[in-house]
Amino acid sequence: MNILNMSNIQKSFGDNNVLKDISIKVDKGEVVSVIGPSGSGKSTLLRCATLLETIDGGSFSYMGEEVCSVKNGKVVYDKNLNKFRHYFGLVFQNFNLFPHWSVLKNVIDAPISVQHRDKNEVKAEAVELLKKMGLEDKVKAYPGELSGGQQQRLSIVRALAMKPEILFFDEPTSALDPELTGEVLKVIKQLAEENMTMVIVTHEMEFARAVSDRVIFMDGGIIVEEGAPNEVFANTKNERTKQFLQNYSKNEY
């Protein structure tokens, strides 16, 4: 079954037609990387999927249940949006942790107060997850006391504690110093090995190639090419993809 199924998504900001006609399906356990030049609509796509933006056209569903569709120019949402929010998690580029809460509280508050799960159970799971991400000695610290890499690992733990079916990442390492990206990428890789379903927007081409089952190259609001990492990165026939990847490796010195 598809965890996520987006069909013919359109989104504009005023005259700026950002997503023109995007269709994506993500299967359980699949890791999909989304690459593309700046302004191609990658973040917008994730923001639509996570209900931070409303779509102007198309429809999408999680676990086969339709969340949202546009009919006759009107957006129609499912009545129980909160149920869908439990299906996905989003890891932001700049973490967006809650600075006034301790590391532990950042992880356990939503499962307890939003999902109404058992406090002790949530706490035990949170400690376990923090340990797995190498944050066990930071349980009582505050986000502001952590390094960027630790903050991003914490925000991944925060998302995982909600037990999402699918996890979205929007350039999870772009705000980090180069020497800290490795530790975050390692954690994401570990999740991939555990068959976590993920959609990762990234500029880390080597990483995308190594970790994903499928790569999507977006440009100008459409999907230009889609395929296995080896096809896209090594054997692409598409001129735009070639050009993008060439420009990219030029910039990586």
| Binding footprint of Mg ion on the chain (CB under 5 A) | 43
Q: Which is nearer to Mg ion, 42 or 158 (CB)?
A: 42
CB of 173 to ligand ATP, least distance (A): 13
Q: Which is nearer to ligand ATP, 129 or 168 (CB)?
A: 168
Among 67, 158, 207, 244, binds another protein (CB under 8 A): 158
Q: Which is nearer to another protein, 11 or 85 (CB)?
A: 85
Asked if 21 and 59 touch (Cβ cutoff 8 Å), the reply is no
Q: What does the angle CA 187 – CA 212 – CA 96 come to, to the nearest 5 degrees? A: 45
Question: Which listed option, ligand ATP, Mg ion, another protein, none, makes contact with residue 18 (CB within 5 to 8 Å by class)?
Answer: ligand ATP
Regarding 100 and contact with another protein (CB under 8 A), the answer is: yes
Count of residues in the chain:
253
By CB under 8 A, which span of 69-77, 84-92, 192-200, 202-210 interacts with another protein? 84-92
Question: Which listed option, Mg ion, ligand ATP, another protein, none, makes contact with residue 40 (CB within 5 to 8 Å by class)?
Answer: ligand ATP
CB of 98 to another protein, least distance (A): 6
Q: How far is CA 31 from CA 47, 50, 129, 140, 189, in A?
A: 18, 17, 20, 32, 10
Regarding 113 and contact with another protein (CB under 8 A), the answer is: yes
The DSSP output letter for 137 is: G
Q: How far is CA 103 from CA 121, 137, 246, in A?
A: 17, 10, 41
SS (H, E, C) 89-119: EEECCCCCCCCCCCHHHHHHHHHHHCCCCCH
Q: Which is nearer to another protein, 138 or 214 (CB)?
A: 138
Give SS3 for 56: coil
By CB under 8 A, which span of 1-9, 21-29, 50-58, 179-187 interacts with another protein? 50-58
